[in-house]
Chain A
Amino acid sequence: MLLPVTSHAIGVLAMGAQAAEKAAGGAVQSAGDNAHAVQPLDFVSMLFAFMLATFIGIGVIRRVSRLLHTPLMSLTNAISAIAVVGSIMIAGGEHYPTWVRVMGACALFASMTNIISGFMITDRMLKMFHAAPEGQAK
């Protein structure tokens, strides 16, 4: 019932990214091979995504049942371990020296631990929640 709101919001998010990309596109062509010239425009689209995602987050989280606030925390724990993306890029990146890769590997270990434990404990807790059996409910 709430789905249309959320999917609409995703649409808006995608549109924001597209618009920002279009704006950046012109700069890319004129700048040619110089990737650094694109930087000043890129952060606008990132801030855009951040703003929209925050609004979506607030909208979605406010509807989360108060019963489930503890599982919500462990779920968002796991989701914030999305830092795994950065860790993989650094740990496995082709050009990095070893000391950078060691830091990346440590970050990867920390993120993966959060992902595994976060999702597992959330599911473990959610399995415990059940409604009163039919007939007994008052």
Chain B
Amino acid sequence: MPLRVLLFASYADALGASEVDVTLPANATVRDVVAQLRARGGAERLPPAPLVAVNQRYAGPDTPVSERDEVAVIPPVAGG
């Protein structure tokens, strides 16, 4: 199943793109998305378990994802 993943700030710089396409197994979870990303060049700058948002809400590693979901990997936030 194809999925487009959104990247921001330092993570977008690390992977050289603000969106990347990954291919996931059926019944995939957030953990699978992170594993796919970490296999890419530049992704060594991502922590082993980065923050992830599914449909604009923070989501744990076991959260299921489908190709209709909006999935984003969230660098350490620095607002304020």
A, B co-complexed? no
